[in-house]
Amino acid sequence: MSNKTGSCTCNPTEKTSRYSEIDKVIELYKDKRGSLIQILHLAQEIYGHLPLDLQQYIAKSLDIPLSEVSGVVSFYSFFSTKPRGQHTIRVCLGTACYVRGGKKIIEKLSEILGVGLGETTKDGRFTFEIARCIGACGLAPAMMIDNVVYKQVNANKLESILSQY
């Protein structure tokens, strides 16, 4: 294990503890073919994100090329190499939501939060993303915060919705 703390904002003891938890995940799945995505998903739950030093650690532990690990991390949008916020906001940009004002919701949220898409607020409260479809087309435009879906959202409702978090 590297002594570098990379982008971890935790203390070295906390990082070691998190790596120990990740070791348990790797041990559980390492002999199961096609388990890399599951390992990365659980590692991100434990660590909060997948910085390069953690990707290197996982690659070495699984005896696979770093390029394979990094390729999976960069391909799937649910993996993040940067620290994420306490809550994740996803604005739907599927066809119905886009046509009914999804882009205006994105613009207003960006203004309210002070961040762009794919970014996390300075206070670490929100990570702001888009989704291609969240299955609420009949009540578009829609957005999600964590696993809660908000339907028929408009710019005037955003402050009230965010105040719940």
**Residue pLDDT, tens place only, 75-94:** 987 898 988 899 999 999 99
Share of the chain above pLDDT 90, in %: 79
Please count the CA atoms within 13 angstroms of the CA of 99 that sit on its side-chain side: 7
What is the widest separation between alpha-carbon atoms in the chain? 52
With b meaning 16 or more CB within 10 Å and e meaning fewer, what string describes 137-160? beebbbbbbeeeebeebeeeebee
Alpha carbon distances (Å) from 22 to 1, 38, 45, 96: 12, 12, 10, 40
Token output for 165: 């978090």
Rg (the chain; Cα; Å): 18
Q: Name the helix (H) or strand (E) containing 129.
A: strand 126-131
* Reported confidence tier of residue 150, pLDDT bands at 50, 70, 90: very high
The pTM of this model reads 0.67
What's the whole-number mean pLDDT along residues 2-6?
Answer: 36
Cα 47 versus chain centre, distance: 12
For residue 132, the 8-state DSSP code is S
* Alpha helices (runs of H) in 30-157, residue ranges in sequence order: 36-47, 52-62, 66-75, 95-97, 103-113
Contact (CB, 8 A) for 90 and 144: yes
